[in-house]
Homo-oligomer: A and B are copies of this chain.
Amino acid sequence: MTPPPPDLPQDTRHRLIEAAILTFAEKGYDGAGIREIAQRAQANSALVTYHFGGKEGLYREALHHISDRKASEVASLPPPPEPGSPGAREVALQGMKAYIRAFVTDLMSCPAESEVDAAAMALIGREIQMPHPVSAPVLLEFARPYMERVLALLRVLRPDLDPDAHLRMTLSIQGQILHFRNSLGFIRLLSGDPDFPKDLEVLIQHFTDFSLRGLGVPEAFPQTRP
């Protein structure tokens, strides 16, 4: 039998952060205790103070850890076209479809793939709704690229609208998707379907169709109803 993996020094810190993400996501900041988190990380609760200066520091570090891991995924999308460039509309249309797909897959990472990733997005969702005083800066930095990306695409797709209208549309697109992620448990209860959504691809297609129609980009749907 193999011996337990050598416990590298830096490793404890990382285990604490991952255990914190899981526990904070399940029980919220007030509901989660540092004893429970430490036990989950197979570490001593005194290390929370030692490494992070306290519970609040651990929370901040956990959110920062999530933000760092996810930032690269948004940036990896092809950049939105310049408003005046040739073929900008078609590029922006494809960009919007790619964005919606990326947004959904980012948010809907299921526990089967990575338990921590799933908990991380649940935690972000909870924080967006009711930010802990400590988390506001981290959260703004995290959400900004998602927001800016859609706004840039909208400036190409709907140049006739003013910035306020662009903001409303951005929030409508993201809102539908965030609602699916944040209220998934409740939706399953309400609809009576415990394994909703059965197919993520169908869901992505729905968000894409609904949003592009909602945006009023008719060339994406030459004919809605015969």
Which residues does A use to contact B, with CB under 8 Å? 27-31, 125-126, 128-131, 136, 139-140, 143-144, 147, 160, 164-165, 167-169, 171-172, 174-180, 182-183, 185-187, 189-191, 196, 202-203, 206-207, 209-211, 213-216, 218, 221, 224-225
Residues of B contacting A202 in the complex (Cβ-Cβ under 8 angstroms): 164
The CA of A69 and the CA of B197, in the complex, are separated in Å by: 32
Residue in B129, B160, B164, B172 whose CB lies within 8 Å of A210? B172
- Given A30-B31, A210-B169, A216-B213, A179–B174 Cβ distance below 8 Å? yes
The CA of A130 and the CA of B28, in the complex, are separated in Å by: 9
- Given A30-B31, A131-B185, A186-B131, A180–B176 Cβ distance below 8 Å? no
User: Distance (Å) between the CB of A167 and the closest chain B CB?
Assistant: 6
- Given A171-B179, A180-B175, A210-B172, A129–B224 Cβ distance below 8 Å? no
The CA of A147 and the CA of B191, in the complex, are separated in Å by: 9
Contact across chains for A168 and B28 when beta carbons are under 8 A apart: no
CB nearest neighbor in B for A182: B129
Residues of B contacting A176 in the complex (Cβ-Cβ under 8 angstroms): 171-172, 175-176, 179
| 3 interchain residue pairs of minimum CB distance | A175-B179, A214-B214, A30-B30
The CA of A189 and the CA of B129, in the complex, are separated in Å by: 12
Contact across chains for B147 and A190 when beta carbons are under 8 A apart: yes
Residues of B contacting A31 in the complex (Cβ-Cβ under 8 angstroms): 28-30
Quick one: which of A28, A129, A213 has the most chain B CB within 10 A? A129
Contact across chains for A206 and B147 when beta carbons are under 8 A apart: no
Residues of B contacting A130 in the complex (Cβ-Cβ under 8 angstroms): 28, 126, 185
Contact across chains for B214 and A225 when beta carbons are under 8 A apart: no
The CA of A209 and the CA of B130, in the complex, are separated in Å by: 28
